[in-house]
Amino acid sequence: MTTPQPSAQTVASRAGRMARDMRMPIAGVVENMSALACAGCGERTALFGAGGGRLLADELGTELLGRSRSTPRCARRVTPAFPWWCAIAAPPPPSP
């Protein structure tokens, strides 16, 4: 998992090399926050750059499994108890 920024790629690259050194399989790379989608028109803006996930996958010799985008709706739904992957896939939990 990485974001498009070079600094995030550096950290994820170290983790990938460590996994490879430990003979752990690397399933692939997912680029998180690849773009912000406008709630009104759907236009995507690459707030954190573009292509970092592809570069990391190429460096590690693995696949780019996908890119996840952010939306204002998703950002409002994410809390410590309700992480981003749940906000994308499921309705928010009921309010207490």
Closest CA to 88 of 34, 51, 12: 34
Could you report the average pLDDT of every consecutive run of 10 residues in the chain (96 residues)? Answer: 86 92 91 79 82 91 85 61 50 52
Are the C-beta atoms of 75 and 33 separated by less than 8 Å? no
pTM summary value: 0.67
Cα separation, 17 vs 23, whole angstroms = 10
pLDDT for 40: 79
Domain ranges of the chain: 6-89
